[in-house]
């Protein structure tokens, strides 16, 4: 469904005298203001100004509503505005049209049946770049859906839509000089990307083939999208992928690949001068269509393999004195930048453009964590933070068991909200100025429909909007949560198929090694939420303890089960968490096997820190290895032990498997180990669902040393979160 188009005409310098005869409704307490993003400074006063929506949505100043462009307004933040609502009416001041536009969005959000609450708002965004990205290649989303997203983005003050227009899934934008890009490779044999990609019949099809899946935007479509966005103060950033992810181009124009044949490569042949003619021709047409200062040229995940044996690429490397193929990619990105600068534009690329040498004025999108962004900012380059661990909206947003199939990962809205785009521990204040903004990315390998797309984007995009706009010190999850909940029906009214938030309970642990106890806090996305819980592993019922902000600290073991109750009924599946302040906590551990530096969890004592992991191996609690785990816990004295356990997770999509078995050995002297038992895995290595197995050993041992050996049998990762010793 497309929203009614509002008119956002320019509002310059209209000043109308205040009327002495204004209508204000009787003062009432304002209970809650659900603005997202939260303004930088806001004072709520008692009372409402009665106004009807037509007056707000009219662009003209009126008797009670005054829109003023004030040249003395803070020029360092041109999107800022001031909004005062009192019994005199509504007064809006800003330095620019954009500032007035954002004040209007705030008014739209403030409007209730009672009128507009009296407020005194002085607002401006934290970052100039507030972006949402959409992959329209893996699955195509028609123009109408893009316009709908632009409406919602503007309501929440997001100002850049990054369109990933080209990739192996299909080329999505009409190009006059290269008509085969759309006539030959905008359509394919299968709509479901995964089936198509993995299938034997992975083929592109000519436009017009009956039953073919695909689509593209004509130049008129693009002009319409760009204009519609501009009316909403949104910039469209086009992304054209170079030099990788270009299988579709190399099908239509195989002479641009190293092999010269279709269906062989995804990387352009950089040794071929025709590649650069293509790049400049395409970028010229793109520049003509998109007024965006920034043009995105991709740069991510090039395979680079074909360049190593391609005579043309090798000849270029030799001529230019390049040491490796990274420099070939860098050569191409430098050329792209030279071209864009010659046209008065700026280049953005994914963080791989650092490899082989960054182009002199490039802006970097840091997606493989923050390191690329940190490095670039230190070098004086502008950076947009979009790290996968927080900002990927194609990842799961709740327990995968309850969700449509996704690419993996786990970025629930609370986790998204926790992200601060400025890595304050790694950058100086001066370097931090290069962090110009933040973006969330929505890749669509597993997202086929507009409904599903909206479900993945919302309400996470509301968290993004607030991260991007609101000062860090003004943000808190507990404050955001009720406002986010209140915005769910708002999104629904605007026709968005939003995720309506999970019924899961989060259990947040705090291990206190001084008091020798574990404190547990429960939290839910839903607000308000009646949470009831047990600590003995039984299913909570209506008569179980009502959660009121604390649970008695756990000094030994608790098996917490918690759930939300609504209308007297348990919602969803209770969340379970085992909590043990066990005897192994903080004891020394020695590893006989290799650790994997990327997945150390809390470090060397991660397996004995009391913290259990959650649903993702990326939550900093799970330690991962690419080999057997063989470790020895030193209890520091001979100890009577009766139970030892260790837990592993399985999620075979990203290559995380259960070990084949776990063996327990004990020793008094650390030299002579006695085998005490073996527990095999009970989970099939074909089981695709996220699963956990606890390997438990019961006995009666006197030992100082406890050794666990977990056998890796799938040539993949194994991940464990905690060894528990009683
Ligand atoms: C990316 O996710 N390949 C930028």
Fold topology of 505-580: Immunoglobulin-like (2.60.40)
Q: Which atom of ligand 1 approaches the CA of 301 most closely?
A: 3
Using CB atoms within 10 Å of the CB of residue 1, give its burial: 0 to 12 exposed, 13 to 18 middle, 19+ buried: exposed
The kind and range of the H/E element at 438 are strand 435-442
Distance 406 CA to ligand 1 centre (A): 15
Q: Which residues pair with 48 in a beta bridge?
A: 117
Q: Which atom of ligand 1 approaches the CA of 441 most closely?
A: 2
d(CA 146, CA 529): 34
* Ligand 1 within 6 A of CB of 350: yes
167 is catalytic: yes
Distance 435 CA to ligand 1 centre (A): 19
pLDDT single digits (tens) 681-716: 999 999 988 999 999 999 999 999 999 999 999 999
pLDDT < 50 positions in the chain: 1-29
Q: What is the pLDDT of residue 5?
A: 30
Indicate the top mutation candidate among 239, 296, 300, 440 to test ligand 1's pocket, ranked by most ligand atoms within 8 A of CB.
Answer: 300
Distance 300 CA to ligand 1 centre (A): 6
245 is catalytic: yes
pLDDT single digits (tens) 637-658: 999 999 999 999 999 988 999 9
Distance 96 CA to ligand 1 centre (A): 35
Using CB atoms within 10 Å of the CB of residue 568, give its burial: 0 to 12 exposed, 13 to 18 middle, 19+ buried: exposed
d(CA 726, CA 724): 7
Distance 462 CA to ligand 1 centre (A): 22
Indicate the top mutation candidate among 350, 365, 444 to test ligand 1's pocket, ranked by most ligand atoms within 8 A of CB.
Answer: 350
- Taking alpha carbons only, the member of 34, 136, 40, 25 closest to residue 474 is 40
Catalytic hit among 164, 233, 245, 582: 245
Q: Residue 635 in 3-state DSSP? A: strand
- Taking alpha carbons only, the member of 647, 516, 641 closest to residue 585 is 516
* Ligand 1 within 6 A of CB of 301: yes
DSSP line for 430-498: HHHTTEEEEEEEE--TT--SHHHHHHHHTTHHHHHHHHHHS-GGG--HHHHHHHHHHHHHHHHHTT---
Q: What is the pLDDT of residue 200?
A: 92
Question: What residue owns the CA closest to ligand 1's atom 2?
Answer: 367
Q: Which atom of ligand 1 approaches the CA of 388 most closely?
A: 2
Distance 448 CA to ligand 1 centre (A): 18
Q: What is the pLDDT of residue 27?
A: 39
Using CB atoms within 10 Å of the CB of residue 553, give its burial: 0 to 12 exposed, 13 to 18 middle, 19+ buried: middle
Distance 352 CA to ligand 1 centre (A): 10
* Ligand 1 within 6 A of CB of 367: yes
Output phi, psi for 704, to 5 deg. -95, -35
Look up the pTM and report it: 0.92
Distance 387 CA to ligand 1 centre (A): 10
Catalytic hit among 79, 151, 167, 285: 167
CA dihedral sign of residues 615, 620, 622, 624: positive
Question: What residue owns the CA closest to ligand 1's atom 3?
Answer: 300
Fold topology of 589-725: Jelly Rolls (2.60.120)
* Ligand 1 within 6 A of CB of 300: yes
Q: What is the pLDDT of residue 9?
A: 31
DSSP line for 66-133: EEEE-TTS-TTSTT-EEEEEETTEEEEEESSHHHHHHHHHHHHHH-BTTBEEEEEEEE--S-SEEEEE
Retrieve residue 490's tokens: 């708002």
Distance 367 CA to ligand 1 centre (A): 6
Q: What is the pLDDT of residue 31?
A: 56
Tokens 């990927």 correspond to 392
Indicate the top mutation candidate among 296, 301, 444 to test ligand 1's pocket, ranked by most ligand atoms within 8 A of CB.
Answer: 301
Residue spans of the domains in the chain: they are 8-123, 129-493, 505-580, 589-725
Q: Which atom of ligand 1 approaches the CA of 367 most closely?
A: 4
CA distances from 212 to 60, 181, 190, 290, 704 (A): 48, 15, 7, 29, 67
Distance 245 CA to ligand 1 centre (A): 10
Catalytic hit among 34, 301, 530, 634: 301
Tokens 């992975």 correspond to 202
Indicate the top mutation candidate among 240, 241, 411, 443 to test ligand 1's pocket, ranked by most ligand atoms within 8 A of CB.
Answer: 443
Distance 465 CA to ligand 1 centre (A): 21
Q: Which atom of ligand 1 approaches the CA of 392 most closely?
A: 2
Distance 173 CA to ligand 1 centre (A): 20
Q: Which atom of ligand 1 approaches the CA of 350 most closely?
A: 4
Contact call for residues 283 and 238 (beta carbons, < 8 A): no
Q: What is the pLDDT of residue 654?
A: 87
Distance 459 CA to ligand 1 centre (A): 22
Number of Cβ within 10 Å of residue 676's Cβ equals: 18
Q: Which atom of ligand 1 approaches the CA of 245 most closely?
A: 3
pLDDT single digits (tens) 476-493: 999 999 999 999 999 999
Fold topology of 8-123: Chitobiase; domain 2 (3.30.379)
192 is catalytic: no
d(CA 608, CA 419): 27
Fold topology of 129-493: TIM Barrel (3.20.20)
């Amino acid at each position: 469904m497309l929203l009614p188009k509002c008119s956002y005409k320019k509002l310059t310098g209209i000043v109308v005298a205040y009327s002495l005869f204004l209508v204000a409704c009787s003062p009432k307490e304002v209970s809650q203001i659900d603005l997202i993003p939260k303004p930088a400074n806001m004072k709520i006063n008692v009372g409402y100004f009665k106004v009807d929506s037509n007056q707000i949505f009219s662009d003209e100043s009126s008797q009670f509503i005054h829109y003023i462009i004030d040249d003395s307004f803070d020029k360092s933040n041109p999107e800022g505005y001031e909004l005062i609502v009192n019994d005199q009416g509504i007064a809006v001041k800003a330095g620019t049209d954009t500032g007035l536009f954002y004040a209007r969005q705030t008014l739209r959000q403030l409007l209730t049946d009672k009128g507009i609450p009296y407020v005194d708002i002085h607002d401006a965004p934290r970052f100039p770049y507030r972006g949402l990205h959409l992959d329209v290649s893996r699955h195509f989303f028609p123009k109408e859906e893009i316009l709908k997203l632009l409406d919602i983005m503007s309501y929440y003050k997001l100002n850049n839509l990054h369109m990933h227009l080209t990739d192996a899934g299909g080329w999505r934008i009409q190009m006059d000089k290269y008509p085969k890009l759309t006539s030959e490779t905008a359509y394919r044999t299968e709509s479901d990307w995964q089936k198509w990609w993995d299938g034997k019949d992975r083929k592109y099809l000519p436009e017009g083939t009956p039953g073919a899946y695909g689509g593209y935007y004509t130049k008129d479509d693009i002009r319409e999208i760009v204009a519609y966005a501009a009316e909403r103060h949104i910039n469209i950033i086009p992304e054209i992928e170079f030099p990788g992810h270009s299988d579709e181009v190399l099908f239509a124009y195989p002479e641009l690949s190293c092999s010269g044949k279709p269906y062989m490569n995804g990387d352009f042949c950089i040794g071929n001068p025709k590649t650069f003619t293509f790049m400049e021709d395409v970028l010229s047409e793109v520049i003509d269509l998109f007024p965006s200062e920034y043009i995105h040229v991709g740069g991510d995940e090039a395979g680079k393999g074909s360049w190593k044996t391609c005579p043309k690429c090798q000849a270029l490397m030799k001529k230019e004195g390049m040491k490796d193929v990274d420099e070939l990619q860098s050569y191409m990105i430098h050329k792209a930048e030279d071209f864009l600068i010659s046209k008065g534009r700026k280049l953005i690329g994914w963080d791989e453009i650092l490899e082989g040498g960054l182009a002199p004025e490039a802006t970097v999108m840091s997606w493989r964590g923050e390191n690329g962004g940190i490095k670039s900012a230190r070098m004086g380059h502008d950076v947009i933070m979009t790290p996968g661990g927080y900002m990927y909206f194609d990842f799961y947003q709740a327990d995968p068991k309850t969700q449509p199939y996704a690419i993996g990962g786990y970025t629930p809205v609370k986790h998204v909200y926790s992200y601060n785009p400025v890595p304050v521990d790694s950058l100086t204040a001066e370097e931090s100025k290069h962090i110009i903004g933040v973006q969330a990315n929505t890749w669509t390998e597993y997202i086929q429909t507009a409904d599903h797309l909206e479900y993945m984007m919302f309400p996470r995009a509301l968290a993004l909007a607030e991260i991007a706009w609101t000062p860090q010190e003004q943000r808190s999850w507990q404050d955001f949560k009720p406002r986010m909940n209140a915005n769910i029906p708002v999104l629904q009214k605007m026709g968005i198929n939003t995720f309506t938030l999970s019924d899961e309970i989060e259990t947040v642990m705090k291990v206190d090694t001084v008091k020798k106890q574990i404190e547990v806090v429960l939290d839910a996305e839903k607000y308000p939420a009646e949470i009831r819980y047990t600590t003995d592993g039984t299913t909570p019922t209506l008569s179980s303890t009502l959660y009121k902000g604390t649970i008695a600290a756990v000094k030994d073991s608790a098996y917490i089960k918690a759930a939300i109750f609504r209308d007297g009924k348990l919602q969803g599946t209770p969340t379970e968490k085992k909590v043990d302040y066990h005897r192994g906590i903080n004891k020394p551990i020695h590893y006989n096997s290799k650790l994997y530096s990327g997945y150390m969890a809390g470090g060397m004592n991660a397996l004995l820190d009391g913290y259990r992991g959650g649903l993702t191996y990326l939550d900093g609690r799970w330690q991962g290895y690419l080999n057997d785990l063989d470790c020895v816990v030193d209890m520091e004295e001979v100890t009577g032990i009766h139970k030892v356990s260790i837990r592993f997770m399985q999620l075979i999509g990203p290559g995380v498997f259960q070990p084949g078995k776990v063996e327990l050995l004990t020793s008094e002297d650390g030299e002579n180990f006695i085998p005490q038992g073996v527990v095999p895995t009970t989970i099939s290595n074909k089981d695709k669902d996220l699963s956990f197995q606890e390997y438990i050993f019961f006995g009666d041992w006197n030992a100082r040393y406890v050794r666990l050996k977990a056998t890796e049998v799938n040539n993949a990762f194994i991940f464990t979160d905690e060894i528990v010793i009683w």
